[in-house]
Structure 1
Amino acid sequence: MPTTLVLSRQPLASRPLQEWVDDPADSVVLFTTEQAVAGAEDELAKYFPRHHLVADYHSWTAEAAAEQAARAFGVDRIACTSEHDVLRAARLRARLGLPGQQPASAAAYRDKVLMKQLAEQAGLAVPAFAAVDDPLDLLDFVDAVGFPVVVKPRSGCGSVGVHVLRDREGLEHFLAGEPESALPFLPGLWMAESFVTGELCHVDGVMADGRIVHAWPGQYSSGVAEYLAADTFISSVLLAAEDPRRAVLMAFAAELIAALPAAPDPIAFHLEAWICPDGRVVLCEIASRAGGALIAETYERAFGVHLAREGLRLQCGSEPTIGGQPAELERPNGWLMIPPGFGRFTPPAERCPVPGVDLTVQLAAGAVGHGVGKASNTAARALVSGATADEVRRRIDEVVAWWQRNASWS
């Protein structure tokens, strides 16, 4: 079993890495933060006797410390669980001469400008786009394509920092927000895209050496940006095998993965794309990690494989538990995220009565809601199954209606 340096800033209480990897005490060196292991000291001592804790995970000193830890423990592999670590892990592999995804591949799956340049060169449809290194770049882009325009971080995730500029007032508001922006308005950090109208879909699975190993598509009810901006419900349903969009999305995913610099070893991926009214598939983005929200859990219920866990195991050099590409959807599934409202929360008095629904309320009675704020903020989450994809969609609608009748914010 190789020794792997695992980069993770997630709390062990919510992401039990000791249950995800094989023989963690003997095979893993955990690189994490003091906050992530707070309250899990016993687990740290038992499962990760070899570890390195840092105070500021995203600092330059932390990256240097990760290299020092890798050399000190003589690791054979570098693995990560977060998109924020994809490029860091790739740089460490290159510097130490270790196998796995290298910087050219990681950059193509992180930098949305480079990603779209490579996709466009391969003949795949992308929105009109441009790097935004100064305000004049944004003004030029608006003049060229008109409103609405989407401005986003080039290496962002979870729709953090995404702005939809619908008119001149929205443009001026974005420019005026520079002093308070969490991401500096600096060259190399921002981009602009034309607004795309269509069904936002996703394809999730495992890829290796420029090809799909195992994957399946689904359709969102809306984008995460809309979830953040409008404090609305967001859900997704895996497409039925006979749904004609499934083959179209799988073909698009295969072409895109073949067009980007390949990761030689198997890793998880998450693709988002629109199916437009004219039938075109247009790239939103692709990441070389498992999808967020409840995508991994839904995939596990459908195919018996938790993509985030499988993705980490594969980076650690473990044998895959995933088989070949499925031809059928083994269990129709979907998920729902319910946003926090504004004010003091009163949860439903009864359990959700909709069949096939596993709903978890995540806020305590009396908690004060301030809206969504970020994608991980939810009042409740639900995994939903049914006999067909259409039944899953109907049940999600029933859960939303039930919640709106029975939960309140005052």
Structure 2
Amino acid sequence: MEFAIITNFSFEKFEIDEWLPLDENEYHIFLRKKFNEESKSRNFSKNVVLHFINDWNSCELEYKIIELHKTLKFNKIFCFREEDVVRTAKLRDILNIPGQKEDAALLYRDKLKMKEHLEKFGIPVAKNRGVNDYVDCLKAIEEFDFPVVLKPRMGLGSADTFVIDNNNELYKVAKEVDLSNYIIEKYIEGDVYHVDVLVTDYQVRYISAAKYVNNCLAYKKGKSTASVFLPNSTSKSKSMTSFAKKVLFSLPKEKDNIYHIELFDSNDGIVLCEIACRAGGAQIVPIVDRCYGVNLFKEYLYSQIGLSELSQQEEKGATLSKGYLLISPQVGTLIDFPSKIDLPFIEAFEIYASKGQTYEKLNSSVFALASFEVGGDSAKEVEDNLKLLEKKFKAGVIYKEV
């Protein structure tokens, strides 16, 4: 069989050369040209072909796959990143290859279509409306008042997302940002959770719930991104994972996929924030792998090529309280920071920053100086540990204004 695999990940985080078997299949991996040098140190089997794309945001990827299909006749095409979900679905459509098609993919990428669809199935969502400019926003606010959230309908993660508390803030954002194809939503008060799911052969094989200590927009206020995984035996985890399954059952069924679902725990009950058909970002994949024994990337890959190791297993989930922390940078030039923090509950860490590095516009919750994985005897203890760790690390960070 011939497989087209759209990855676009660094091999440090995505060890596909170790996962793909030497067998009768041929695996064609498509990725950015910037990974060419890195690929030379990896040990790929002879049945793996790498295709480097010069301009990822152009039609070069589609052109290359369509041309190769004329002779290779790909049996499957699949991807791993949210930005590639719709373009991969379109390729399946035009090449008549099985898998998620464009109409279904848009329900995970277009936040307006997503919420319109799920409301029809009784899934609670925030009041929302599609907008294209400042006046459209004012009309929506007349209906559901401040505070509101503005984000691109086809946005990625928390990038270009704004919480608006008053008309002055709205005016400032509308002046600086092209609001074409945005969605405006009523802001929901309450804790935010993420539920991460792996489905193979139409069955849930892994599912876990985690609480954000600071939500995904906290980086805009200088706070770090962090979350605490809840053991599946807890009542809160059960309520969140049960709701997440209702969301999945309300969407077109996919034989094999990964999902990242964000939920509000409001005074009026659980409300959907959004769902994506990709693995969660930040440290979610490493924690699930190291602590709960499921590599979401590897298992999704194996489900696509017919080697799933979970196909005969019962549903798995979080068994221990764990957490991660991404230390958010501030605007300025980094003068100094701790190279290490000695606390007994730190289980893994990685430093991304370097002295002299300048941080300007901060537009993503996964943009970080360092990442940490943390343990504890309970979810509350893990949360306290994360807060202490953030405080100690930031106390040693020095910036120079730019």
Work out whether residues 321 and 379 of structure 2, in 8 Å CA contact, stay in contact via their aligned partners in 1. yes
Residue 137 and residue 240 in structure 1: after superposition, are their counterparts in 2 closer, same or farther (change >3 A)?
Answer: same
Establish whether residue 204 from structure 1 lines up as the match of residue 196 from structure 2: yes
Residue 120 and residue 49 in structure 1: after superposition, are their counterparts in 2 closer, same or farther (change >3 A)?
Answer: closer
Any stretches of 5+ residues in structure 1 without a counterpart? none
Work out whether residues 13 and 40 of structure 1, in 8 Å CA contact, stay in contact via their aligned partners in 2. no
Work out whether residues 5 and 31 of structure 1, in 8 Å CA contact, stay in contact via their aligned partners in 2. yes
Q: Quick one: which of 371, 376, 379 aligns to 1:386? A: 376
Q: How far, CA to CA, are the matches of 1:68 and 1:223 in structure 2?
A: 43
Match of 1:284 in 2: 273
The 5-angstrom pairing of residues 38-49 of structure 1 reads 38-43=37-42
Match of 1:339 in 2: 328
Establish whether residue 299 from structure 1 lines up as the match of residue 302 from structure 2: no
Match of 1:86 in 2: 85
Q: How far, CA to CA, are the matches of 1:177 and 1:245 in structure 2?
A: 40
Work out whether residues 210 and 229 of structure 2, in 8 Å CA contact, stay in contact via their aligned partners in 1. yes
Q: How far, CA to CA, are the matches of 1:25 and 1:159 in structure 2?
A: 41
Residue 27 and residue 388 in structure 1: after superposition, are their counterparts in 2 closer, same or farther (change >3 A)?
Answer: farther
Establish whether residue 237 from structure 1 lines up as the match of residue 236 from structure 2: no
Establish whether residue 156 from structure 1 lines up as the match of residue 147 from structure 2: no
Match of 1:361 in 2: 351
Q: Quick one: which of 265, 269, 273 aligns to 2:259? A: 269
Report the CA distance between 1:274 and its aligned residue.
Answer: 0.3
Match of 2:251 in 1: 260
Q: How far, CA to CA, are the matches of 1:167 and 1:47 in structure 2?
A: 59
Number of aligned residues:
398
Q: CA RMSD in A?
A: 2.4
Report the CA distance between 1:26 and its aligned residue.
Answer: 4.9
Match of 1:193 in 2: 185
Match of 1:15 in 2: 14
Q: What TM-score do you get using the length of structure 2 for normalisation?
A: 0.91
Establish whether residue 131 from structure 1 lines up as the match of residue 130 from structure 2: yes
User: Partner of 2:140: helix, strand, or coil?
Assistant: helix
Establish whether residue 319 from structure 1 lines up as the match of residue 308 from structure 2: yes
Residue 347 and residue 88 in structure 1: after superposition, are their counterparts in 2 closer, same or farther (change >3 A)?
Answer: same
Establish whether residue 330 from structure 1 lines up as the match of residue 319 from structure 2: yes
For 1:119-149, what per-residue CA distance to the aligned partner results, in whole angstroms no more than 9, with x for missing partners? Answer: 1111111000111134432221011111111
Q: How far, CA to CA, are the matches of 1:51 and 1:348 in structure 2?
A: 39
Residue 25 and residue 225 in structure 1: after superposition, are their counterparts in 2 closer, same or farther (change >3 A)?
Answer: farther
For 1:324-381, what per-residue CA distance to the aligned partner results, in whole angstroms no more than 9, with x for missing partners? Answer: 223x733321111001233333122654323343222211234344474433321110
Residue 329 and residue 44 in structure 1: after superposition, are their counterparts in 2 closer, same or farther (change >3 A)?
Answer: closer
Report the CA distance between 1:42 and its aligned residue.
Answer: 4.8
User: Partner of 1:36: helix, strand, or coil?
Assistant: helix
Q: How far, CA to CA, are the matches of 2:158 and 2:258 in structure 1?
A: 20
For 1:294-352, what per-residue CA distance to the aligned partner results, in whole angstroms no more than 9, with x for missing partners? Answer: 111111133201213322332333323463223x7333211110012333331226543
Match of 2:391 in 1: 401
Work out whether residues 22 and 313 of structure 1, in 8 Å CA contact, stay in contact via their aligned partners in 2. no
User: Partner of 2:109: helix, strand, or coil?
Assistant: coil
Work out whether residues 218 and 224 of structure 2, in 8 Å CA contact, stay in contact via their aligned partners in 1. no
Runs of 4+ in 1 over 4 A off after TM superposition: 44-49, 208-211
Work out whether residues 299 and 308 of structure 2, in 8 Å CA contact, stay in contact via their aligned partners in 1. no
Match of 1:29 in 2: 28
For 1:210-250, what per-residue CA distance to the aligned partner results, in whole angstroms no more than 9, with x for missing partners? Answer: 663320101001222222x1121111111133432212111
For 1:261-296, what per-residue CA distance to the aligned partner results, in whole angstroms no more than 9, with x for missing partners? Answer: 111x22111000100124x11010001111111111
Residue 171 and residue 43 in structure 1: after superposition, are their counterparts in 2 closer, same or farther (change >3 A)?
Answer: same
Residue 220 and residue 257 in structure 1: after superposition, are their counterparts in 2 closer, same or farther (change >3 A)?
Answer: same
Any stretches of 5+ residues in structure 2 without a counterpart? none
Greater displacement, 288-297 / 156-165: 156-165
Q: How far, CA to CA, are the matches of 1:113 and 1:231 in structure 2?
A: 29
Q: How far, CA to CA, are the matches of 1:308 and 1:235 in structure 2?
A: 21
Report the CA distance between 1:170 and its aligned residue.
Answer: 1.3
For 1:81-114, what per-residue CA distance to the aligned partner results, in whole angstroms no more than 9, with x for missing partners? Answer: 1001111112212222222222232111111111
Match of 1:116 in 2: 115
